[in-house]
Each structure stands twice: as structure tokens, then as C-alpha cells.
Amino acid sequence: MAMALCPRGANCAELAAQYRASWAGLSAGEIVLRLRDDPTAYRDEIAIGSAGLPRLVTRFRGSAVSEGRIAAAPLPAPLHYDARYDLRKRRDRQLSMRFAVAAGAVIAERGPGDTSRKPPLAAHFRTNVLDPLSALTAIRLELRRGNRGAFSLPVYDGARRFDVRARVLPEHSGDNAIHVELTLAPLAGFKGESSDDGDPDDAPRPVAVKFSNDQRLMPLSMRVSVYYLPLVVELTRWCATAACGQ
């Protein structure tokens, strides 16, 4: 049975949470996720800062924002996606996408300030797609509608095109969470085809995600293998949107 967005009298439109990431058991970073959605629109924000060995190696930090509309269609309709990030050798990088309607389809185009150095993928790879944060909104929408089966989402991150294939797992006894198995299936832009950031692996990558089994449907944890070692992200605290990350 589908769950309501908020119980009567509650203000659940804005949610914020802080997460800790570990890689091979060692501290890897902190993440802050802010989500705002209502029956017609959404805004997702994420901020990531590396820690421990990953910080020494990469100096990575980044943030991203996605906004769009929610309608009767199965998928949300993104309007824009903007990300900023720093790496050791690449400072003040920007990824910007705008979703433009053309000939009855929606095409992801590069927006103002984008610093990508390689050409975008062919238009058919950028048509009727979701950005990575809108994909999170789409998963939460499917769960909210009561989908406890399998579904697939077309995702384009500005350089790579892949499908996110989701399968909701049976309930775990005594575990009040929704377990979702995700598989990131590469389609284009991998193995250096159009990435500014090296040679990303083009093998399908499984990701295990747990969501809160309540009206929030917030991610509680995520586990994925990176360089054959486990990267684990776990919720550390809920917080007010203005104070999260402080």
C-alpha cells in the first residue's frame, strides 16, 4: 500500500540528514543530504567532503542541487542539475545541465558555467533522462506509490549514461527498513569515452540501499564496492535543514 507524503498535521516537506562514509573500514568522508518535496515539485541537495586516506589522495569535496516537477507521469521531470567539486588537480569544476523540451522530448543540455572539457554524448543518450539526484527522487516516488517490485531508471550524469535497475527486496524480519538492490548498468561514456575523470569501470555495479519505512523514505545506508573494497555510507543523525553539517 502506498504511503502518504506526510501524516496529517506534520511538516515533512523538508528533510535533512548527515551521513558518515567509510571505505574498507576506514573513515572516508561526511555527507549531508537535504530533500524537499511536495505533490508537485522537488529540490534535492547533497554536499560531500572526503576524510582520512581519500582526502589525502584526492582532496575531494563537492556539492550538487537538482530541482524539478512531480506530475502524474511515472518519472519526475528535472529542470536543472548543478554540481561543483574540487579534486587535487582540478579546482572549481562545475557541471551544469538544463533540461529542454524539443520535439516532444526532454533533452539534457549543458548549462551556463559548465567546465566539462569533452563533448557531450550523442543526443539520444541525453533524451528523457534523469540526473543522479532526480533518480533518488524517482526511487522514493516508486516506493511511496507502493511499488515493491522492480523498475528501471534512465540516468545521465553529464558525462555517462547508465540505467539504474532497482529491485525491492522482501522485508527482513524485525528490520523496519525498505531494502532496495540497485544495479548501475553502463550504456555510454565509460572507459574514458567522454569522462573528464579517468577511466570509470564499465562493469555493472551493484549497490545495496536501505530506506526508512515511514513517510520520510530517507536513505539510511548504502553499500557498494569501490576498487574491490566496500564503501559504506550510514546515517549518523537527523538535523534541521539550516543546521545540518555544522
Tens place of pLDDT for every residue, the chain, 246 residues? 333 344 343 445 789 999 999 988 888 889 999 999 888 999 999 999 877 556 545 557 889 999 999 987 889 999 999 999 887 667 778 999 999 998 889 999 999 889 988 889 999 999 999 999 999 999 999 999 999 999 999 999 999 999 999 999 998 777 889 999 999 999 999 874 444 444 345 567 899 999 999 999 999 999 998 878 899 999 999 987 666 765
What single letter denotes the amino acid at residue 37? D
- How would you class 135 by CB atoms within 10 Å of its CB: exposed for 0-12, middle for 13-18, buried for 19 or more? buried
What cell was used for 237?
543523525
Encode pLDDT of 54-72 as tens digits. Answer: 654 555 788 999 999 998 7
Q: Is residue 245 part of a domain?
A: no
pLDDT at res. 213? 94
CA dihedral of 84, 88, 91, 96, whole degrees rounded to 10: -30
Please say whether the beta carbons of 106 and 124 come within 8 A.
no
Which residues on adjacent β-strands are paired with residue 6? none
CA distance 1 to 108: 34
Structural domain that includes position 83? 14-238
Q: Is 173 helix (H, G, I), strand (E, B) or coil?
A: coil
Over the range 27-49, which residues count as b (16 or more CB within 10 Å of their CB) and which as e? ebbbbbbbbbbeeebbbbbbbbb
Q: Is residue 205 part of a domain?
A: yes
N- to C-terminal Cα distance for the chain? 37
Q: Is residue 19 part of a domain?
A: yes
CA distance 184 to 153: 10
- How would you class 157 by CB atoms within 10 Å of its CB: exposed for 0-12, middle for 13-18, buried for 19 or more? buried
Q: Is residue 1 part of a domain?
A: no
Please say whether the beta carbons of 191 and 175 come within 8 A.
no
Counted domains in the chain: 1
Residue with cell 530541482: 67
Q: Is residue 8 part of a domain?
A: no
pLDDT at res. 1? 34
Please say whether the beta carbons of 111 and 98 come within 8 A.
yes
Q: Is residue 7 part of a domain?
A: no
pLDDT at res. 192? 46
Q: Is residue 2 part of a domain?
A: no
DSSP 211: E
pLDDT at res. 13? 74
